Amino acid sequence: METSNKKRWLAGGLALIVFLLSLFTGESKVKDFNEANVYEEARQRFMGAEDEVLYGSNPNQRIMVLDVDGMIAKDDANDFLAEKLDEVLDDATISAVILHVNSPGGSVYASERIAKKVEKIQEKNIPVYSVMQEVAASGGYYISAPCDKIYASNETFTGSIGVIMQSYSLEGLFEEHGIKEQNVTTGKMKDAGTFGRDMNKEEKEYLQALVDSAFGRFVKVVADGRDMSESEVRKLADGRIYDGSQAVENGLVDEIGDLDDAVADISEKYELTDPVVFEKNEFASAFAKYLPYFKSNTDNPKSDLQILKELMESEKNKPMYLYGGYYE
């Protein structure tokens, strides 16, 4: 384990070098660094996705623990998670998988991608458990719902079953700066939800239908995974969150417990003898999440026009399985 930690620190140090280069030498140096494949080669060698053994002695019966931490998005972390879940299908030593979830949710696509991987593993008669940490809401619950068993803490925030499509109207700000949006489209709904003006009633109804469609799929995933009727799920699915004890009472969570409890339950139920419990994680991906934050805090205060530009370039106007009270 000491060697593994050393490699992770090396990977983290390398990521920090890339970050400092981006701050003080401009993007061109970082581009040269990446084109030389130095960062990628070091990431693969020093960090890779090595097994970090938590405990256990039987290498023929292993339980893989995968962290789902932070926003669920179509990014490197999501690719890594999908890749590791695919590897389970080809590894005869893996007897079970535990998703260690600490996420407010996120992308509809990325959440569904992970849920589908879980179902494929279960088709091979390999159990998948979810162990919720501080928060496993919306998309964090979506990927947990198909699991064979769900554990949570009494203080876990979970649920938030629903869909949100975040949008802004910058019509007033446009007017203040003398900006007028002029879109040329092939149909009246082509620019529905644009930032430059308020949505009309017809546009809201159109986008609401998209949100409702995604919501229907969310309800079905929960109903199938929790052995509930869709009407039962809809009673719980007004977007509100529940703490762990409430979620046990309403059927969204099976038991109050942690990772060790889940391992003990799997070992007993599936007759495993001191299985090796190991974790797969990608240190550089987790470290990289913080780089935009560090960089943003070195910038000068933003003007109204800079804020306007960032809002227009942000990824909005798409359905999200995201806890509405979460702010990154």
Residue 272: predicted pLDDT: 97
DSSP state of 271: T
Domain boundaries, the chain: 49-322
Catalytic residue list contains 190: yes
Catalytic residue list contains 138: yes
DSSP state of 246: H
Start-to-end Cα distance in the chain: 32
**Which two three-digit tokens encode residue 165?**
């499509």
Q: Which residues contact 189 (CB under 8 A, 6 or more apart)?
A: 203, 206
Residue 181: predicted pLDDT: 81
Of the listed ranges 161-165, 167-171, 223-227, 312-316, the one predicted with least confidence: 312-316
Q: Please name every residue paired with 128 in a beta bridge, in sequence order, or none if there are none.
A: 97
Angle between helix 76-88 and helix 108-123 axes, rounded to 10 deg: 10
Average pLDDT, the chain: 83
d(CA 280, CA 98): 11
Count CB-CB contacts under 10 A for residue 283.
22
For residue range 24-48, what is the model confidence (pLDDT) as tens digits?
555 555 455 555 555 555 444 444 4
**Which two three-digit tokens encode residue 49?**
């996705």
Q: What is the mean pLDDT of residues 177-183?
A: 83
- The active-site residue, picked from 138, 144, 267, 285, is 138
d(CA 64, CA 143): 16
DSSP state of 46: I
- The active-site residue, picked from 190, 220, 302, 309, is 190
Architecture of domain 49-322: Alpha-Beta Complex (3.90)
Does the pLDDT value for residue 324 go beyond 80? no
d(CA 285, CA 283): 5
Q: Please name every residue paired with 159 in a beta bridge, in sequence order, or none if there are none.
A: 137, 241
**Nearest to residue 16, comparing CAs of 300, 296, 328, 283?**
283
